[in-house]
Amino acid sequence: MKKHFLYLLLLLIVVTIPMSCNTDFLDTKPLDRISSDATWKDAALSQAFVFNIYSFLGYGGFEEQALASVTDEAMFTHAGRNINNFTEGTEEPGALAWQSDTWTWPVMYRAIRAANVAIENLPTATFDPANRDRLLGEAHFLRAYYFHQLVRFYGGVPLVAKSYGLDEDYNLERSSYEDCVKFIVADLDKAISLLNGKPNTKGRANKLAAMALKARQLAYAASDLHDANKAKGKSSLFNGFQNIQLLAYTTGSQTARWTAARDAAKAVLDEGTGYKLNLTAPVSAAEGRNNYMSIAMGGESGIGDKSAAVDLIFERTHTALFTRESNWPLGGLHYGINNGPNGYNNWAGNTPIQQLVDDYEMMDGSKFSWSNPQHAAAPYVNRDPRFYATVLYDGAPWKPRPSSSAGLDPNNQIQAGTYDGKAGIDTRQSPIENWNGTRTHYYTRKFIDGNPALPDNQSAAQTIPFPFIRYTEMAFILAEASLELGNEAEARTWLNRIRFRSGMPAITDAGPALKTRLQNERRIELVYEEHRYHDGRRWMIGEQLGRPIQAITVTATVKPGKTAHSPYKNDPTVYDYKYTVFNNTENELRVWRDKMYFRPLSRDEMNRNKKLVQNPGYQN
C-alpha cells in the first residue's frame, strides 16, 4: 500500500514542480507517510491519495476468476483454483475458498482505513473548497462502497470510522446489520451533498453514483435474507443462531424498508434517462441484440452504439487513473483472452452453463423447454436477442480466425461440437490448443469486444469498462420494490421497458408468476455483472445457485445423400445435429448448504480479534 502511494506521489511531484534552481521542494517531509501534512495542503497530492483509494476496486468483475463461476451462471474451466471449496460447501474459517481482493475482509479494511484518513484530513485542507469537497465526497462514497462489499458478503461488520494508530486497540465487535446499513446510507447521503453540482468524470464517483449505491443498499436491506422472521422461516440454520441481528433486521417493517428502496431508486431514475428505457414497444431482434451488446461495450468499442455508455452510472475505467500500476491491464485488457474460445488461442475461463442458456426465453416470450421437440431440435434458434450478445454457442458467428487457424475455419463460426467424429477447433480436443477449451461447450460473448479490427486473442487491445452500477439496475430495483409493495402495474411497466429495449415482448404476469419473471429477467439482463451471487442470496433461492453444473454435447452427422463441408461449417441442411445435456462433474460436485448465504470470517481474523462472532454454520 505504501509502495503504491509513494509511487503516485513521486510521479505527481515530477509532473507538477517546476524544474529550476529552486530546491525548496527537497525540504518536504517524507511522502510515504499517508498522514503527511503536505498531502492535505496540495490539491494534486490529495487527489493522488484519493485516487489510490479507488485502486482497491481492483479489476472490477474482470478478474481471471469471475464471481459468476460460483453461481448458476458459469463454470471455471481450470481446476485447482480453490473454487470448489466454496461450491461444494466445504469452506471453513481455516480452509477458505477463492476470494477476490475486491471484497475480502483484510483488503477492504485497508481500503476503509485509507478512506478514513482522507475523511479526517480533507475538511481542513487548504486548497480550493470545490475540489476539496469533491474529493471528500468521493472518499465518503468509497468508504460506503467498501463497507457495502463487506456487508453483502459477511453481514454486519465492525464499523471502523477512524484511522487507528499502531498502538490502539483494534478489537471491535461486529455491528448489527441494521447499524451497518445506517452507516453506509449516512456516508452516501454525505457524498450526495458534497458531490452535488460537481463534474461527472468517467470512473469517478459523482452524485448519481452515490444515489444509486444508496438505492441498491436499501434494496438489499429490504430483502428476505435480511429480515429475521423471513430468514428463520426459510432456513432452520438461522433459527439457532443467537446473533441474528448481525445478519438481519430484528425490528421494524419490511414494508417500510421496501418503500425506502423504491423511493431511492425512483430518485435516480428521475435524475437521469438511462439508455433507451423510454420505449413503448419492442425494437427488432437485431436492434435488441445491438442495444444489449452496446451496453456491455460501455461505448468503448468500434462496433455498437457509443451512446449506450449513458447506462453506466459507476464504472471501472480502462484509463490510467485509479489504477493498480501495471496490474490493471493484466485484468481488464485481458478479459478477452481469459474467456474467449481456445480455437482463437484464448483460455475459456468462465464459461456459461446450460442452466443459464435454458433460462433465455424464446423470442415470443415463452419458456424454452427441452421437452418441446422443436426447441430441442434447434435450441439456439429464435431466442431472446440478449442470448446472442452474451453466449458463444456451437455455430455462433464470431471474429475472423487468427492466421494459424484461418484455413480450418474460413467461416468464422464457433466449433464446440463433434462433426462426423472429428472434434471442433474450439473443443478440448482442438488441433489449435487442447488444454484450455470449454467444459460446458459454450463461451462468453458478453464484455468481449467483437470488433474484427482488434487482435484476435484480445491480449493487448480491449478497453471495456466494468459496470459497477447501471441505470438498468435502478429500474429493476424500482420494479422489485413496487412488486413487493403491491403495485404490480408499476413493476410490469419497468420490466417491459427493459424488455422492449432488448426486442422482447411485454409481459402480463401477475402474482407469484410476476415475481418469478422479474427474477429471471434480472438474471438475464445483469448476467456476469456480479449480481446473481447476491440476488440468489437475498432472495434466499440458494438451492438454484448450487445446482450441479449442466453442460451440453453437440454432435453432427451428414444427412443421407449430402456431402460434408470441407473445411467444416455449421449447416443444418447438410448435417443432423444432436444436442445432449449432461451433468459436468469434472471440476466440481456442486451442492448448496445454507451456511453459504454468508461467507466465513477467517480463522486468522477470529484469532486477531477475540470480539468477533462467527457466521452460522461454520466451525471455528
CB distance 203 to 322 below 8 Å: yes
Mean pLDDT of 214-224: 98
Q: What is the DSSP letter of 573?
A: T
Mean per-residue pLDDT over the chain, rounded: 91
Q: Is the peptide bond before 30 cis (omega within 30 degrees of 0)?
A: no
Mean pLDDT of 608-615: 96
> Can you give the pTM of this predicted structure?
0.93
Quote the pLDDT of residue 333: 60
Per-residue pLDDT reduced to its tens digit, 64-85? 999 999 999 999 999 988 999 9
Quote the pLDDT of residue 471: 98
Name 210's Cβ contacts closer than 8 Å, sequence gap at least 6: 137, 140, 141, 144, 188, 191, 192, 195
Q: How confident is the model at residue 316 (pLDDT cuts 50, 70, 90)?
A: confident
The x, y and z cell numbers of residue 40, run together, are: 492535505
* Percentage of the residues of the chain whose pLDDT score is greater than 90: 82
Q: How confident is the model at residue 28 (pLDDT cuts 50, 70, 90)?
A: very low
Q: How confident is the model at residue 21 (pLDDT cuts 50, 70, 90)?
A: very low
Quote the pLDDT of residue 459: 62
Lowest-pLDDT choice from 38-52, 226-240, 595-609: 38-52
| H-only helix segments in 128-206 | 129-154, 177-195
Quote the pLDDT of residue 11: 32
Q: With 70 as the cut, is the pLDDT of residue 8 above it?
A: no
Quote the pLDDT of residue 575: 98
Quote the pLDDT of residue 326: 38
How many helices and strands, by DSSP H and E, does the chain display?
A: 22, 10
The x, y and z cell numbers of residue 47, run together, are: 487527489
Q: With 70 as the cut, is the pLDDT of residue 16 above it?
A: no
Residue 395 to residues 391, 419, 556, Cα–Cα distance (Å):
11, 12, 11
Per-residue pLDDT reduced to its tens digit, 369-378? 999 999 999 9
Per-residue pLDDT reduced to its tens digit, 364-399? 999 999 999 999 999 999 999 999 999 999 999 999
Per-residue pLDDT reduced to its tens digit, 517-554? 999 999 999 999 999 999 999 999 999 999 999 999 99
CB distance 75 to 587 below 8 Å: yes
Q: How confident is the model at residue 38 (pLDDT cuts 50, 70, 90)?
A: confident
Residue 30: Cβ-neighbour burial (10 angstroms; 0-12, 13-18, 19+): exposed
Q: How confident is the model at residue 289 (pLDDT cuts 50, 70, 90)?
A: very high
- Rounded to whole angstroms, how far apart are CA atoms 394 and 372? 20
Q: With 60 as the cut, is the pLDDT of residue 489 above it?
A: yes
Quote the pLDDT of residue 35: 52
Residue 116 to residues 111, 291, 605, Cα–Cα distance (Å):
9, 40, 21
Q: With 60 as the cut, is the pLDDT of residue 14 above it?
A: no
SS3 583: strand
Quote the pLDDT of residue 80: 85
Amino acid letter, 161 = A
CB distance 505 to 364 below 8 Å: yes
- Rounded to whole angstroms, how far apart are CA atoms 105 and 605? 9
- Rounded to whole angstroms, how far apart are CA atoms 262 and 311? 19
CB distance 298 to 315 below 8 Å: yes
- Rounded to whole angstroms, how far apart are CA atoms 191 and 179? 18
Q: How confident is the model at residue 272 (pLDDT cuts 50, 70, 90)?
A: confident
Name 204's Cβ contacts closer than 8 Å, sequence gap at least 6: 54, 138, 321, 322
SS3 362: strand
Per-residue pLDDT reduced to its tens digit, 570-591? 999 999 999 999 999 999 999 9
Quote the pLDDT of residue 91: 97
CB distance 208 to 215 below 8 Å: no
Q: How confident is the model at residue 321 (pLDDT cuts 50, 70, 90)?
A: low
Per-residue pLDDT reduced to its tens digit, 100-125? 999 999 999 999 999 999 999 999 99
Q: With 90 as the cut, is the pLDDT of residue 256 above it?
A: yes
Sign of CA dihedral 195, 199, 205, 206: positive
- Backbone dihedral angles phi then psi of residue 407, each to the nearest 5 degrees: -70, -25
Residue 13: Cβ-neighbour burial (10 angstroms; 0-12, 13-18, 19+): middle
Amino acid letter, 246 = L
Q: With 90 as the cut, is the pLDDT of residue 221 above it?
A: yes
